[in-house]
Amino acid sequence: MNGLPDLIVSAVEESNSLYDKGKCDISITEMIGPPRISVLKREGKAKSDVADSLFALQGSAMHSIIELAANREPGRYLSEERYFQEIDGWIVSGQYDLIDCKEHILADLKFAGITTYKYGVKPEYVAQLNCLAYILRQHDFTFKKLQSWAMYRDFSKMKTLFGADYPECGFEVHSVEMWTDAKCLSFMQERIALHRDARENGSEPCSRSERFQKPEATEYCIQKKGAKKPYRVKDSREIAEEFKNSLKKPDDYEIIERQTKSEPVRCALYCDVAASCDFGQQVFAEKQAQHT
Ligand code: SF4
């Protein structure tokens, strides 16, 4: 399988088998994710490639070592325990990675690329941590801080020499805004309603943002008359006009408007149920047509 040694394949399978969301209607991760993916996975349609799970394997290894370290100070740290809460008739389960009982911190460990945090903590990570904090608060935990602990899988010491906004080392702690109980509850109720509707009435394809597909936009190509390719591409007509007028012979050029095409990246690369989803099948068919 992809030339991977059998032992590595076994390690991935072993790591996957450790995941258990317990007896619940939905896990927090599933609840935050797209309903269609959840529905198809529940129907047993997920097919994952071992090679695609190698980062997850490294993430699991990181979790295990941090758990071992936490167990050295059981009075201070708690790790990897699952809790359950009924919300609108559904049992929701969530497992925390780490609680620092001394500092009252709930921390979520991520093994991620540096760009994952380029614009701060992703909204889905914020929601995930807050939903978990809500469930834990119903079980008498209290928190002063929520944190996303990022272990960067692509950190390069060399790059620290060039970029001021590059992390200083391969690990960073990111603070996460704490929601009120009311905000957590209404968010979870909304998500549960969406998932319930998808299970009972059929699911819609994932939204554009859930498909990791950039919004469509218009771009302006400054092109030499008769040429096949643009000389320059700009985001607005105004900037394109300005650029064209700055050229030596502006009349030799024209501005052509075109729509950007963006890929549904998740469907094409990261979706375990794409082969069973009509939208995913359409993406693959279009790709195949482009290559024939
Ligand atoms: S293939 Fe795309 S639309 Fe279909 S479930 Fe996967 S991510 Fe969603």
| Tens digits of residue pLDDT in 259-275 | 888 899 999 999 999 99
Please, which pLDDT band fits residue 225 given cuts at 50, 70 and 90? very high
Across all residues in the chain, what is the average pLDDT?
94
Q: Does the pLDDT value for residue 217 go beyond 90?
A: no
Output the pLDDT for position 165: 83
Distance 210 CA to ligand 1 centre (A): 8
Q: In terms of Cα–Cα distance, which of 282, 227, 222 is closest to 255?
A: 222
Residue 274 lies in a domain: no
Task: Assess whether 165 and 104 both reside in one domain.
Answer: yes
Distance of alpha carbon 250 from alpha carbon 222, whole angstroms: 10
Report yes or no: 14 and 60 within 8 Å, Cβ to Cβ.
no
Task: Assess whether 192 and 52 both reside in one domain.
Answer: yes
Residue 270 lies in a domain: no
Residue 285 lies in a domain: no
Distance 116 CA to ligand 1 centre (A): 20
Q: In terms of Cα–Cα distance, which of 176, 284, 175, 204 is closest to 34?
A: 204
Q: In terms of Cα–Cα distance, which of 224, 210, 221, 184 is closest to 94?
A: 184
- The pocket around ligand 1, CB under 6 angstroms, is made up of 34, 36-37, 205-206, 211, 264, 266-267, 271, 273-274, 277, 279-280
Q: Does the pLDDT value for residue 279 go beyond 70?
A: yes
Task: Assess whether 67 and 168 both reside in one domain.
Answer: yes
Residue whose CA lies nearest to ligand 1 atom number 7 = 267
270 against 164, higher pLDDT: 270
Distance of alpha carbon 161 from alpha carbon 14, whole angstroms: 39
Taking the CA of residue 271 as reference, the ligand 1 atom at the shortest distance is: 6
Residue 282 lies in a domain: no
Task: Assess whether 74 and 139 both reside in one domain.
Answer: yes
Q: Does the pLDDT value for residue 126 go beyond 60?
A: yes
HEC-encoded secondary structure of 68-88: HHHHCCCCCEEEEEEEEEEEC
Task: Assess whether 80 and 153 both reside in one domain.
Answer: yes
Distance 32 CA to ligand 1 centre (A): 15
Distance of alpha carbon 292 from alpha carbon 65, whole angstroms: 48
Residue 284 lies in a domain: no
Q: Following CA atoms 162, 164, 167, 168 in sequence, which dihedral angle do they give, to the nearest 10 degrees? A: 80
End of a domain among 149, 167, 201? 201
Please, which pLDDT band fits residue 138 given cuts at 50, 70 and 90? very high
Taking the CA of residue 210 as reference, the ligand 1 atom at the shortest distance is: 7
Task: Assess whether 196 and 220 both reside in one domain.
Answer: no
Domain span at residue 220 reads 216-261
End of a domain among 153, 168, 201? 201
Task: Assess whether 168 and 24 both reside in one domain.
Answer: yes
CATH number at residue 41: 3.90.320.10
The count of C-alpha atoms lying within 13 angstroms of the C-alpha of 242, restricted to the half-sphere facing its C-beta, is 6
Burial of 215 (0-12, 13-18, 19+ CB in 10 A): exposed
Q: What is the mean pLDDT of residues 243-260?
A: 93
Taking the CA of residue 278 as reference, the ligand 1 atom at the shortest distance is: 4
Task: Assess whether 38 and 183 both reside in one domain.
Answer: yes
| Tens digits of residue pLDDT in 165-186 | 899 999 999 999 999 999 999 9
Please, which pLDDT band fits residue 1 given cuts at 50, 70 and 90? low
Residue 210 lies in a domain: no
* Structural domains counted in the chain: 2
Please, which pLDDT band fits residue 123 given cuts at 50, 70 and 90? very high
Distance of alpha carbon 205 from alpha carbon 268, whole angstroms: 14
Distance 148 CA to ligand 1 centre (A): 27
Q: How many Å from the N-terminal Cα to the C-terminal Cα in the chain?
A: 26
The secondary structure of the chain in percent helix, strand, coil, rounded to multiples of 5, reads 45, 20, 35
Distance of alpha carbon 179 from alpha carbon 216, whole angstroms: 32
Q: What is the mean pLDDT of residues 189-213?
A: 96
Residues 6+ apart with CB under 8 A from 171: 149, 150, 151, 152
Task: Assess whether 58 and 172 both reside in one domain.
Answer: yes
Task: Assess whether 30 and 163 both reside in one domain.
Answer: yes
Distance 94 CA to ligand 1 centre (A): 24
Q: What is the mean pLDDT of residues 105-122?
A: 95
Report which residue type is found at 262: S
Q: In terms of Cα–Cα distance, which of 193, 206, 203, 191 is closest to 271?
A: 206
Residue 116 lies in a domain: yes
Residue 290 lies in a domain: no
C-alpha dist (Å) from residue 205 to 80, 130, 157, 264, 283 = 33, 26, 41, 11, 12
Q: Does the pLDDT value for residue 196 go beyond 60?
A: yes
Taking the CA of residue 37 as reference, the ligand 1 atom at the shortest distance is: 5
Residue whose CA lies nearest to ligand 1 atom number 8 = 206
Q: Cα Rg for the chain, rounded, in angstroms?
A: 24
Q: What is the mean pLDDT of residues 18-27?
A: 90
Q: What is the mean pLDDT of residues 84-106?
A: 97
Taking the CA of residue 280 as reference, the ligand 1 atom at the shortest distance is: 1
Task: Assess whether 155 and 252 both reside in one domain.
Answer: no
Output the pLDDT for position 86: 98
Task: Assess whether 69 and 186 both reside in one domain.
Answer: yes
Q: What is the mean pLDDT of residues 80-109?
A: 97
Distance 275 CA to ligand 1 centre (A): 9
Output the pLDDT for position 100: 98
Distance 53 CA to ligand 1 centre (A): 18
